[in-house]
Amino acid sequence: MLSVCLITKNEEKSLPRALASVRGLADEIIVADTGSTDRTVEIAQSLSATVCHFPWCDDFSAARNFAVSHARGDWIFWLDADEELLPESAAEVRSGMARADALAFWVRRQDLKDAGRLDFYSLMWQLRLFRRRDDLKFQGRCHPEFRPDISEIETKTGLKVFQSTITMRHYGYIGEMIPAKLRRGARLLELELQDRPGQLYYLIEFGRTLLMLEDGRGIEVLREAARKLLPFTKDDEPPMPIVSLLLEQLLQFAPEQLPAEFPPKLVERLAWRWFPNNAPLLWLLARQSAMAGQFDTAERMLRRLVQMGADHSYDQGVSFDPALVGDGAKSNLGVCLLRQGKLDEAQAVFQGLLRSPTHSAQARDSLEAIGQFIQQSGIRS
């Protein structure tokens, strides 16, 4: 039996889409409403959801745990009101639930950037399909995670967490929705750090959120996070995956903004050692090399990004703009080739971009400039 669980507040516009996406798959739908003043509750009930009311307490984990506590299913699928499960994923949800050796599944979430472009999204992985167990509880006011870590439950039970191709589409990062969500997130992250100070995960999230809100406090918060990373810098593996986002920010800091114990070269070494297939980090390292005039180094990195985009060998647990391993990387590769005088190779790259929806104009301009240069210089291509 599958219970699909959601929490809501004033989601009358998006809730019908979310619930329609699991109709026919869910044996029950549990909606924990946190104080809607619109038609959210009425809509949920009209679509056969069971609505339970949760007084909002600035804690998403408490609300999630409340919703799950009302579920009767052997399995839980967590769905946010601004998401939908893609139709082709229903069969895999069913087959996953039938596995006797499965504890949970990583699910792909497509974060849309433009409501009119369903093919333009960043991708991240989240644990959304899991067995209902008393020892699987969420913790964290914002960005809930399982505590204890689900790996501990794996060890205790012998059950496994599997990757899947189950896919959700997320509409929550589109346009004007973003600033309000960032402000809410910053407030909850600050409360979380007051409750449990010094958590590396939440320091990274809080610092990044402040910077996205153009709040200068974010620099000092991320400096604190970097200092907490120092005991791990000789390890082969990072202490947690979110460290990639910290390194992504540190690579964009001016040298004087970094802690004295954390020089730029250390940031670069950790990025290569811990996250060799992380597209955003590789993109930033390529940009740094190009800005330093090291176009041969930048070329190698950009070629790697293009190859990662072709064979999907990039780290799929990280959300990023697909252009970083697609036409954006190809365009920058063409520029690096030009700067090294590799005209034939640059021409081939720009020829391949002529049908790009985002880079065709630049490709035409570059090809025209190359042609004029060749003609004026008398160079034979």
At position 268, the amino acid (one-letter code) is E
In this structure, what token pair is assigned to residue 356? 């790009």
d(CA 37, CA 349): 54
Contacts of 198 (CB under 8 A, 6+ apart): 228
Check if the beta carbon of residue 89 is closer than 8 Å to that of residue 167: yes
Average pLDDT, whole number, for the chain? Answer: 94
Check if the beta carbon of residue 62 is closer than 8 Å to that of residue 140: no
User: Is beta strand 138-139 parallel, antiparallel or unpaired with respect to 145-146?
Assistant: antiparallel
Helices (H), the chain: 15-20, 40-46, 60-69, 90-97, 150-157, 177-195, 200-212, 217-229, 243-250, 264-274, 279-291, 295-311, 327-339, 343-352, 360-377
The mean per-residue pLDDT over the stretch 293-297 comes to 97
d(CA 285, CA 113): 24
**Is the domain defined by 277-381 classed in CATH 3.60.15.10?**
no
Q: Is the pLDDT of residue 381 over 70?
A: no
Confidence (pTM): 0.84
**Per-residue confidence (pLDDT) for residue 113, from 0 to 100:** 77
Q: Is the pLDDT of residue 103 over 90?
A: yes
Residue 5 host element (H or E) = strand 2-8
Q: Is the pLDDT of residue 128 over 50?
A: yes
d(CA 234, CA 270): 9
**Per-residue confidence (pLDDT) for residue 246, from 0 to 100:** 97
Give the Å distances, CA to CA, from 159 to 129, 163, 223, 281, 373: 14, 14, 38, 33, 63
Q: Is the pLDDT of residue 48 over 90?
A: yes
In this structure, what token pair is assigned to residue 339? 């700067």
pLDDT band at 179 (very low <50, low <70, confident <90, very high): confident
d(CA 381, CA 367): 12
**Percentage of the chain lying above the pLDDT 70 cut:** 98
Check if the beta carbon of residue 282 is closer than 8 Å to that of residue 289: no
Quick one: which of 280, 273, 221, 288 has its CA closest to 245? 280
Domain with CATH 3.90.550.10 in the chain: 2-170
**Per-residue confidence (pLDDT) for residue 177, from 0 to 100:** 56
**Per-residue confidence (pLDDT) for residue 175, from 0 to 100:** 65
Q: Is 378 exposed, middle or buried (0-12, 13-18, 19+ CB in 10 A)?
A: exposed
**Per-residue confidence (pLDDT) for residue 336, from 0 to 100:** 97
Contacts of 371 (CB under 8 A, 6+ apart): none
Domain with CATH 1.25.40.10 in the chain: 277-381
The mean per-residue pLDDT over the stretch 202-224 comes to 96
In this structure, what DSSP letter does residue 241 have?
T
CATH of 2-170, one of 3.30.420.40, 3.40.50.720, 2.40.50.140, 3.90.550.10: 3.90.550.10
pLDDT band at 380 (very low <50, low <70, confident <90, very high): low
**Per-residue confidence (pLDDT) for residue 260, from 0 to 100:** 94
User: Is beta strand 83-85 parallel, antiparallel or unpaired with respect to 28-33?
Assistant: unpaired
**Percentage of the chain lying above the pLDDT 90 cut:** 86
Between 152-161, 234-243, 261-270, 319-328, the lowest mean confidence (pLDDT) is in: 319-328
pLDDT band at 228 (very low <50, low <70, confident <90, very high): very high
d(CA 182, CA 207): 11
Mind giving me the DSSP string for 123-142? EEEEEEEEE--TT--EE-SS
Q: Is 377 exposed, middle or buried (0-12, 13-18, 19+ CB in 10 A)?
A: exposed
Mind giving me the DSSP string for 303-327? HHHHHHHHHT-S-TTS---GGGGTH
